[in-house]
Structures are given as structure tokens and as C-alpha cells.
Structure 1
Amino acid sequence: MKRKIIVAPLNWGLGHASRCVPIINALISNNFIPIIASDGHSLSFLQQEFPQLESLELPAYQISYGKNLKLKLVLQFPKLYKTFKKENRLINDFVKNNKEVVGIISDNRFGVFNHAIPSVYITHQVNVLSGFSTFLTSFMHQKIIKKFDECWIPDNSESEFSGKLSTTNKNSNLKYIGVLSRFKKQTLKKEIDLLVLVSGPEPNRSFLEDKLKAVFKNDNRTIVFVLGNVEQHQKKWKENNTTFYNYVLSNQLEKLINTSEIVVCRSGYSSIMDLAILHKKAFFIPTKHQSEQEYLAKYLASKKMAPFSNLNDFKKEKLKELENYIGLKANENQLDTDLFSLFECKRKL
């Protein structure tokens, strides 16, 4: 019998989707058949990475991402809850009608679980930072986590890269699965002085793109921009010493990062893990009002791994600060195949 596993990343930038790539590859290596389930750019990205796999379009959360993210999320809670219920109904119907589905792996999609089969939740944010309301947001997220059979945390048991985001004694279903990246470190000739990775939901993705284009406009170094715009066809163009891509897939991005001296990007957790596996020097620009990225940037700076700046204050001279930081570094991690033994269980009636 074919054993199918639904893999469903949240469509919030490409970080959740990109860190599902090594999970999908590991499932295939262990004779499972992944089914990609998401929406928007995340779905398009994974469909292009794995064109041979079946895919399922889920309802979009369509989170409006303004200046005050926390307030926006509170105001949108009724809409988010409605989408969560719709998503869960769709998944339950799909599982009911597809007996070959033996498990679910959800990366931060609250409604992608089913009580008849083992369901896994992936997050590095057991604790959700939100200022004075951190206790409430963390409590609510941990209640969601308990709906799943296991919660996989992409970090080591010391929470080396996620810090207090993943540190808790309140959940017994947590498993630290190690640093998760789709990339492998290669010793290649450095051809790129500066690699700029633009990512995240709009309008903040465009804010970052516009600012960094202006900052590096007349720079004489060899610079490459990857703009994070997943479209039907890849585009590449050049302006002076700068090369632009609308987006790149995993193999090409792996080479770009391996051949770069310095990387400038958001302090998103998936980016941090990728750069750590590739042993890179990075400068972070956290998304304003996104508590997770702001915390991670400060946390890694306190460990002398990487400097950071807010977007308004960033200028290219700040890259000189990298001389005082050790860079990001983690050993390559192979997913423990014992993780997938959970999916050997029979369906519950």
C-alpha cells in the first residue's frame, strides 16, 4: 500500500515552505509519498521544487501585514478563526476520502490536523513574543500545539539558535529535531561580494527591496539580489555591477550563498538555519514590529554571531561591523528516520 503524508507549510514568506524541503526529501527517501498542501507563493514554490508530487490548495489566511502587526492580528482574529475551521474541514474531508494518507506534517498551519491519523506540528516558536501579551499568545499557541501528536522543533535541545522562543517545560510532545536546512556546505570559489536576500510578506518585502536597492545603487562590488517574487517564470537581469533574480529555487540559491562573502537578509528563522549550515557571515535587518525577528536579531548579536540594524538606519557602512562577529555555524544535520515511525500507526476509527 502507498503511504502518503500531507506536508503543509504556512504561506508567510517562503521560510516555512523552504524548511519543508528537507522534510519532503527525507520522506521520499523513506518510501513515503508527500502531498504538498499550502496556498499562494509557498504552494507555487514547492510545486516548482517537486513537480512530480500531488498538491492540495488550502484556504489562504490573507493576513494583512501593517505597521502594528500585533494589533492587526488581534483585529483579524475572527477571519483567521474562520479560515482555520475551513482549513480543518478540507483536511478532514481529504483524509476521509484518501485512505492512503497515513500522516500529516503541518508547519504552523493551525487547522492541518486529523484525529484519525498521526499529526505533527513544526514550529520554533513554542513561546510567541508579543510584548505585554506574550503570556496570552504563548498560552494560545501551546493549546494549538497540544492538538497534534508531536511538535517538532528545528533546533538542538539547547535552543542554540531559537533561544527562549523554543524553551519550555509545559509541553510533553516536543521533539528537538536539530537545525533544519535544505542546503549543504560546499567549498567553492567566492564570486559574490554581497548577496541580498529579500523576503517576507508584503508590503514589508517591498520596503526592504526599495531600501537596499537605493543603498547599494552605486556600489562597485559584485552584488546579487534575490527578490523573493515567485512567478511563473524565473527572470534575471543586470544593472551595473548588480545582478537581480525575481526568485531562485533551492539548488541555485545554495550555490549563490556558498559563493558569497556576505549575506544581507531578514532575521527569519529559516534563513538563520540555512546560513548556519553554510557557515556564513550575515547582516540582519529584522522586520519592524515582528517580535520574533527582532528578538532573534538581538539574541544572535548578543552571542556575537551576527550584527543587525533596523531598516531606516541601515547604510552600507554598517557592514564593517561584521569584522567583530564570528558568523553563523552549525553542523550538517540529517533527520532521524525514527521520527517517521509515528506514521506506522493504524488509522483510528
Structure 2
Amino acid sequence: MKKRILVAPLNWGLGHSTRCIPIIKALINNDFTPIIASDGAALALLRKEFPNLSSIQLPSYNITYAKNGKLFKLKLLKDSPKLINAIKKEKKAISKILDQNDIAGIISDNRLGVHNKKIPSVFITHQLNVLSGSTSWLSTKMHQKFIKKFDVCWVPDIEGEPNLSGKLGHTSSFDIPIKYIGPLSRFTFKHCEIKNNLMVLISGPEPQRTLLEDKLMLELKNYPGKIVFVKGLMENKQTVEIKGHMSIYNFMTSELLEKTINESALIISRSGYTTIMDLAKLNKKAFFIPTPGQFEQEYLAKRLTEMSLVPSCTQDNFTLKKLHDVPAYEGLKAFDFETDYNNLFSLF
């Protein structure tokens, strides 16, 4: 009988679930049976991608962002009791799942309570250091305390230079084994005819997802080229609305998304780490608008702009004219890295 591995991504935007797609495929290819465990849009997405796999609903973290980016940290602090409670519920749910199912291992992508001493437990994160402004030392210490409850930490980046995560994914000392598994992407680069001048990719917690959607809809109405706009709303049925030069999708499954990104000259998106990994894999030019107040996205956007790879600006400051900066930047490029899944899965 094939060993069953629980794969549990955090439901915070779509990035954690989408970067688990190559891991789920690798588990299947290496003769394991993945079981998906998550909630909300993350669970809905993976159920669409893998309709034949078993899936389990976990307690929700119910994370939302402040409307004002300056209040981001305060909002998270205010929500922390709710977050701790969700982690406790998650741990109870995992104990029950293990009692009722024969599971050989756990792979948690940023779900802090999804581990158990009875079986090998892996934590996936690109944040060994968690940026939170003046409290970065505290948020890092707290995050690392949670990670230490796992057997190993997989970082989706490369250990040396150049790398994608910078100081987020690299630290001089850590108490549990770290394995750099290379950038994770569900996509494959293909040489395609460019059919879209611009593609917009949005996801992430509300209300900031909607605020960016409204901002870009307004700014891009006078854009002269062809636009594909993907809202990142995981609904039961895919919808497409045509407005002049713009095709608006509520969501795209992986196959269509890969094809459309490959066929697009420029991508506007958040500077979420999974998006960066995907666009690097597909060798894309991009423009980044980090989520207001989210230190990690602001750091990544600033770093890539300083490296002359991708221009960026704040959400409030974005205008159509900002896209004139794009030709001066190199764009993102794929790393020549082969993930050794045989070695990674030997833990189970």
C-alpha cells in the first residue's frame, strides 16, 4: 500500500496552495498518495487541480488585512488571539485525522499547528526571518519557535547567491535541519507568440485584493494594448467578461494560467514570493505592487527593484505612466536547479 502524506498549505492568498502543486505531483510520481488539507480558497483551488485526491477541511485562520496599510501590524496583533486559537484547533484536528487515517508524514506550508510527534513533519517557508519593522526580531523569534516543532524545514530557494528570497530565507543559525529545495513553481516555460500586452494577476486577503482590483481597473482603462485581468477569486465556476480591450477572469486553473502568462509580455502583480518564483520560472518582465503594510512583500519588491530586475511602487502611487519604467529592467530569470525529491521524501 502506498504511503499517504498529508499536504497542508495555509489559506492566505493563493501562493501557499499553488506552490504545493509541484510537491503534490512529485509525491504522486514517487509512489506516495497525497491527502490535501486546508480551508477556503486554498482548498478550493487544490480540489480543482486534483479532483481525484482525498481532501480534508482544516480550521480557518480567518486572516484579513487592514484597509490602511499603516495599520497592518496593529491588525495582525489584534487578531493574534484568534490566530493562536486557530492553531490550537488545527493541532486537535491533526490528532483526530491521524487517529482516523493511516498517514506516514506531514508537509505543512506555513500552517503552524499541522505537525505531530508520531510521524515525520515538514514545514515549508521562505521566511526564516519574518520582517515586521522595528519588531522583526520578535516576529522572527516567534516564528522560529513554531518551526522548531517540526523535524525539518524546507526553504523554496537556493542557498547561495543569487537567490530570490534574500534575507527572508537565509539565516546564519537555526536549531533544526534546513533544506534548500530550489524555487517551486507549477509552471513550465514555453516559447510562445505574445498575444497579450499586459496581464494582471491579483490574489491575497481582503480588503486589499479588492482595493488593488479597483485601482487597476481605473488606471488601466486607457491602456492602449490587450489586457488579461485575473482577479484571483476562487469561485465554483470560471467566468470571463470582455470589456473593450480587457478580458476579465475570476480565476484560472494552472494549465490556462501557465499558457496565458507565457503568452503575455508584461505581468502586473503583488510581490508575493510564490508569484516571484512563478514569474522567474517563466522568464517574465513584471511590475510589482506590494500589499500595503506587508513588510515581506515590500522588502521583496524593493530588493528586486534595486537589483534592476523588476520596477515597483506603492499601491497609492501606481499610475499608467509607471509602466514606462519597465524597459529599463532586466526581468526575472529561472535558476538552473533540479529538486532532489527522492532525497526529500526519504524522510517518510
Give the TM-score range, shorter chain: over 0.9
Q: Name which of 81, 84, 87 aligns with 1:84.
A: 87
Would you say 1:339 and 2:344 are equivalent positions? Answer: yes
Q: Secondary structure at the match of 1:113?
A: coil
CA offsets 1:54-107 (integer angstroms, 9 cap, x no match): 0000000112311312111111211111110110111011112212x1000000
Provide the residue aligned with 1:189 in structure 2: 193
Provide the residue aligned with 2:108 in structure 1: 106
The CA distance in 1 between the partners of 2:207 and 2:336, in whole Å, is 34
Matches within 5 A, 1:282-301: 282-301=286-305
CA offsets 1:104-152 (integer angstroms, 9 cap, x no match): 0000000000111000000000110011110010001111111000100
Would you say 1:24 and 2:28 are equivalent positions? Answer: no
Provide the residue aligned with 2:120 in structure 1: 118
Deviation at 1:185, TM superposition (A): 0.3
The CA distance in 1 between the partners of 2:244 and 2:64, in whole Å, is 35
Deviation at 1:333, TM superposition (A): 4.3
8 Å CA contact retained: 1:277, 1:332: no
The CA distance in 2 between the partners of 1:316 and 1:50, in whole Å, is 38
Matches within 5 A, 1:30-45: 30-45=30-45
Q: Name which of 235, 238, 250 aligns with 1:234.
A: 238
CA offsets 1:214-234 (integer angstroms, 9 cap, x no match): 011132201000010110000
Provide the residue aligned with 1:346 in structure 2: none
Provide the residue aligned with 1:163 in structure 2: 166
CA offsets 1:242-296 (integer angstroms, 9 cap, x no match): 0011000101000010000000000000000000000000000001100000000
Letter in 2 for 1:65: Y
The CA distance in 1 between the partners of 2:51 and 2:266, in whole Å, is 32
Overall identity of the aligned pairs, in %: 52
Q: Name which of 140, 144, 147 aligns with 1:145.
A: 147
Deviation at 1:332, TM superposition (A): 5.7
Q: Secondary structure at the match of 1:221?
A: coil
The CA distance in 1 between the partners of 2:141 and 2:264, in whole Å, is 41
The CA distance in 1 between the partners of 2:4 and 2:262, in whole Å, is 34
CA offsets 1:309-346 (integer angstroms, 9 cap, x no match): 11111111111111111110013644312100000xxx
Would you say 1:198 and 2:199 are equivalent positions? Answer: no
Q: Name which of 217, 220, 234 aligns with 2:221.
A: 217
The count of aligned residue pairs is 342
8 Å CA contact retained: 2:10, 2:17: yes
Q: Name which of 44, 62, 74 aligns with 2:77.
A: 74
Q: Secondary structure at the match of 1:238?
A: strand
CA offsets 1:27-71 (integer angstroms, 9 cap, x no match): 000011111100000000000000000000000011231131211
- Which runs of 5 or more structure 1 residues have no equivalent in the other structure? 344-349
The CA distance in 2 between the partners of 1:226 and 1:205, in whole Å, is 11
Q: Secondary structure at the match of 2:186?
A: coil
Provide the residue aligned with 2:310 in structure 1: 306
Letter in 2 for 1:128: V
Structure 1 pair 13–98 and aligned structure 2 pair: CA distance change class (3 A): same
Q: Secondary structure at the match of 2:28?
A: helix
Structure 1 pair 70–132 and aligned structure 2 pair: CA distance change class (3 A): same
Letter in 1 for 2:273: Y
Would you say 1:12 and 2:12 are equivalent positions? Answer: yes
Provide the residue aligned with 1:2 in structure 2: 2
Letter in 2 for 1:170: S
The CA distance in 1 between the partners of 2:263 and 2:60, in whole Å, is 36
Letter in 2 for 1:195: M
Q: Secondary structure at the match of 1:36?
A: strand
Would you say 1:262 and 2:260 are equivalent positions? Answer: no
- Which runs of 5 or more structure 2 residues have no equivalent in the other structure? none
